[in-house]
Amino acid sequence: TGSSSASIFFDMMPLGTHRAGSAHSHPNGVLRPSNADINFFPRAGKFHIIIGAPYRENDWKCFTADGEPCDLEVIP
């Protein structure tokens, strides 16, 4: 994580990502799905995380495959 990007390492990804979902960043900081995201989500799993600049601890949101916001519990 830095001031211009965020990373999730492959060893942190769940197995069977098509069931779990996806995670990607929005460098513009907008924490809602784009039209491209809405088209991609149904093909890529159940839950999708968007991480936005400036990439702080709470600069992310989770969405369902249809693009609706949903709660996701973070377990330390």
The superfamily in CATH containing domain 10-70 is Cytidine Deaminase, domain 2 (3.40.140.10)
Task: Quote the pLDDT of residue 21.
Answer: 84
Reported as a single tens digit per residue, the pLDDT across 21-60 is 888 999 999 999 999 999 988 888 899 999 999 999 899 9
What is the separation, in whole angstroms, between the first and last Cα of the chain? 18
Q: What's the CA gap between 21 and 23, in Å, rounded?
A: 7
| Domain ranges for the chain | 10-70
d(CA 51, CA 13): 15
* Helix residue ranges per DSSP H, the chain: 17-20, 35-40
pLDDT value at position 4? 58
Q: Is the pLDDT of residue 10 over 60?
A: no
Cis bond upstream, residue 54 (ω within 30): yes
- How far apart CA 19 and CA 53 sit, in angstroms, is 27
